[in-house]
Amino acid sequence: MEKAYRNIGFIFLLFIPLTFLGFYKTYFVLSPEFKGTIDIYTHVHAFFASIWIVLIISQPLLIRYKYYKIHSLLGRISYFIFFGLILSFIPQMIKEYGKNLIPLNAGFDILLLLLFYILAIKHKKNIGFHMRYMIAIALIFIGPTLGRIIFILLELESIGFLQIPYLLVIVILLSLIYFDKKNKKNYEPYLVALSAFIIYLLALYSINIHI
């Protein structure tokens, strides 16, 4: 792993408190009965998303501490976890569609997950590219977690049109591109991710304008 990214796994630990806060009102506070809108499909999605976040955190830490065999084993297991994660989005999208809502966020999340994961696997022998595409995958989770913190936990629906979580992702990617350029590293994966997230953001603004 590149020296500048050796501690990325520790940074990813932030997803634990962010996820708890983001889903506190709509999921965790309802435990253990989970009465209301929580069904088996929601639990399945929460399970696969949680396992995926654990992988995002643990994989770079395993590389940092040179547990390469375990990293490789979890990498192979991730194929099945990823497949389950993608499938778990479908019932959520169907429920939104049934409420006459456009499941744009979930749809784009699936597309981005597929794009970045396929590219990460394609470049798994190119450690630099593989790592950067996996970082791009981690950034996808900022949207649903930070979005829920802002709009549900803090009840700041009035600033929803600003799409703050996705603007933050774009700022992070621009910062990573600058960082890599400064250190003379190949930042091509970040350019791909930046283009994808910009399209995502423009789509969200377009939908908001026409609603």
What does the pLDDT average to over 163-171?
88
Express the helix, strand and coil content of the chain in percent, nearest 5 each.
Answer: 80, 0, 20
What does the pLDDT average to over 97-103?
65
- CA–CA separation, 171 vs 67, rounded Å? 32
Tens-digit pLDDT profile for residues 133-155: 999 999 999 988 988 888 888 87
Instruction: Locate 187 and state its tokens.
Output: 């930042």
Instruction: Locate 85 and state its tokens.
Output: 């994660």
Q: How far apart are the first and last CA of the chain?
A: 46
Tens-digit pLDDT profile for residues 70-99: 999 999 999 999 999 999 988 888 877 766
Q: What pLDDT is stored for residue 210 in this prediction?
A: 46
Q: What pLDDT is stored for residue 166 in this prediction?
A: 86
- CA–CA separation, 62 vs 82, rounded Å? 19
Q: Who's near 122: CB < 8 A, 6+ residues apart?
A: none
Global pTM? Answer: 0.89
SS (H, E, C) 61-125: HHHHCCCHHHHHHHHHHHHHHHHHHHHHHHHHHHHHHHCCCCCHHHHHHHHHHHHHHHHHHHCCC
Instruction: Locate 205 and state its tokens.
Output: 């603004």
Question: What residue ranges do the domains of the chain occupy?
Answer: 3-157
